[in-house]
Copies of this chain bind each other. A is one copy, B any other.
Amino acid sequence: MLNVIPIADALGLVLEKFGSKTGRIEHVSLEKALGRYLGEETIAQEDVPAFDRSTVDGFAVRSSDLRGCSDSIPAILEKSGESIMGLAYEIPLAPGNCVYVPTGGAMPPDADSMVMLEFTEDLGGDQFAFYKPVAPGANLILRGEDLQQGEAILKSGRKLGVADIGTLAALGKTEVPVFSRPMVGIISTGDELIPPGENLKPGQIRDVNTDMLKAAVEKFNGIAISRGIVEDDYEALKESCKALILDVDVLLVSGGTSVGEKDNMPRIVTELGEMLVHGLAVKPGKPTIIGEVEGKAVFGLPGNPVAAFFIFDYLVKPLLLALQGGKVETEQVEARLSRAVSSNHGREEFILVHLEGNEAEPVPSKSGLISTVSRANAYFIIPREQEGLPKGALVKVTRL
Contacts and interface: CB of A to CB of B under 8 A. Distances in A.
Interface stretch (A239-247, A335-343, A364-372): A364-372
Interface stretch (A10-18, A157-165, A382-390): A157-165
A328 interface: no
Nearest to A118: B1
Contacts of A218: 34
Interface in A81-96: 83-89
B141 A232 contact: no
Given A87-B203, A103-B260, A169-B211, A373 B145 contact: no
A51 B204 CA distance: 9
B373 A163 contact: yes
Nearest to A202: B88
A34 B215 contact: yes
Interface stretch (A61-69, A122-130, A170-178, A274-282): A170-178
A76 to B, nearest CB: 23
A391 interface: no
Interface stretch (A19-27, A188-196, A264-272, A293-301): A188-196
A394 interface: no
Contacts of A173: 196
B201 A88 contact: yes
Interface string A128-147: 00000000000001000111
B374 A216 contact: no
8 contacts: A34-B218, A85-B192, A103-B258, A104-B192, A104-B205, A146-B371, A154-B374, A161-B374
